[in-house]
């Protein structure tokens, strides 16, 4: 893993994770800001680039430490699933990466097409406090991402010397140039925001780990946690 953590007994998953492990980890994020005051502006800081679809580290959660994990917090480990669908290629076609909805519909009765995957949920808790407990875990994560982005922008507005940020794959200032007005607190929150948004399958790979990262990032920025639930 990019975290330099070696995962063992991966079986067939090891072939997939050669590519689907991302290019950065929470460990590198932590090393970049180690010992720095959380709210001190440093224009020499550079955001570690996660890259798209770091599904492997997300699946293994705190065992791989793909996300930035806040000190003193406990994070979910590998996301469990039923034995018949516990490896990458038991869900994904090894060549196309597509998933056959009919193989999921035995348990997830509402699944008829690939568009229905986002409606699958594994809990009745309203993590994102939007009052909707029938939406899928994807919806819970999307709203939590939106709440985090609000907290990021509020922190920027309240912190001297920090420019507005644009996050759309690349992270830039409003002129489209590389973003350079980082504080450690801002950078670790943006890292986790990107970590979540760049794995669109996070709701399936490990929704608990993904939601924990988002919740803790909002908390660290001083954002409102009213009604939000952190997965245990």
CA quadruple 180, 68, 92, 135: dihedral sign: negative
Q: Look at the chain and report how many structural domains it folds into.
A: 1
CA dist 193 and 81 (Å) reads 25
Identify whether the C-beta of residue 218 lies closer than 8 Å to the C-beta of residue 167.
no
> Does residue 102 lie within any of the structural domains?
no
pLDDT of residue 38: 99
pLDDT given at position 221: 99
Q: What pLDDT score was predicted for residue 18? A: 80
Q: Establish if 58 belongs to a structural domain.
A: yes
CA–CA distance, 63 with 59 (Å, rounded to integer):
9
Structural domain that includes position 154: 13-81+121-220
Please tell me the pTM assigned to this model: 0.94
pLDDT tens string 101-119 = 998 988 888 999 999 999 9
Rounded distance between C-alpha atoms, residue 86 and residue 114, angstroms: 19
Q: Which pLDDT value is given to residue 64?
A: 95
Residues lower than pLDDT 70 in the chain: none
Indicate the helix (H) or strand (E) that contains 171.
Answer: strand 170-172
What per-residue confidence (pLDDT) applies to 165?
99
In a domain, 45, yes or no: yes
Q: Confirm whether 4 is domain-assigned.
A: no
Residue 100 covered by a domain: no
* Residue 229 pLDDT: 99
Three-class SS state of 168:
strand
What pLDDT, on the 0 to 100 scale, is given for residue 92? 87
Q: Are 195 and 97 in contact (CB under 8 A)?
A: no
Residue 88 lies in a domain: no
The confidence score (pLDDT) of residue 86 equals: 77
Yes or no: say if 57 and 22 are a contact pair by the CB < 8 Å rule: yes
The reply to whether 231 falls in a domain is no
């Amino acid at each position: 893993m990019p975290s330099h953590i070696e995962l063992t007994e991966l079986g067939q998953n090891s072939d997939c994770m050669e590519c689907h492990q991302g290019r950065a980890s929470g460990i590198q994020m932590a090393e970049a800001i180690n010992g720095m005051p959380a709210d001190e502006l440093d224009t020499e800081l550079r955001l570690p680039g996660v890259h798209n679809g770091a599904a492997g580290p997300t699946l293994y959660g705190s065992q791989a430490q793909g996300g930035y994990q806040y000190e003193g917090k406990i994070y979910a480990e590998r996301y469990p699933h039923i034995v018949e669908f516990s490896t990458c290629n038991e869900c994904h076609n090894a060549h196309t990466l597509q998933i056959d909805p009919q193989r999921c519909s035995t348990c997830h009765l509402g699944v008829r097409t690939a568009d229905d995957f986002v409606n699958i949920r594994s809990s009745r808790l309203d993590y994102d406090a939007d009052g909707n407990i029938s939406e899928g875990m994807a919806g819970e994560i999307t709203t939590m991402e939106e709440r985090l982005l609000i907290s990021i922008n509020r922190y920027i507005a309240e912190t001297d010397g920090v420019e507005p940020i644009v996050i759309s794959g690349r992270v830039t200032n409003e002129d489209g140039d590389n973003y350079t007005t980082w504080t450690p607190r801002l950078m670790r929150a943006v890292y986790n925001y990107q970590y979540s948004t760049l794995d669109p399958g996070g709701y399936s790979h490990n929704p608990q780990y993904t939601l924990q990262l988002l919740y803790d990032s909002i908390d660290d920025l001083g954002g409102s946690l009213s009604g939000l639930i952190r997965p245990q």
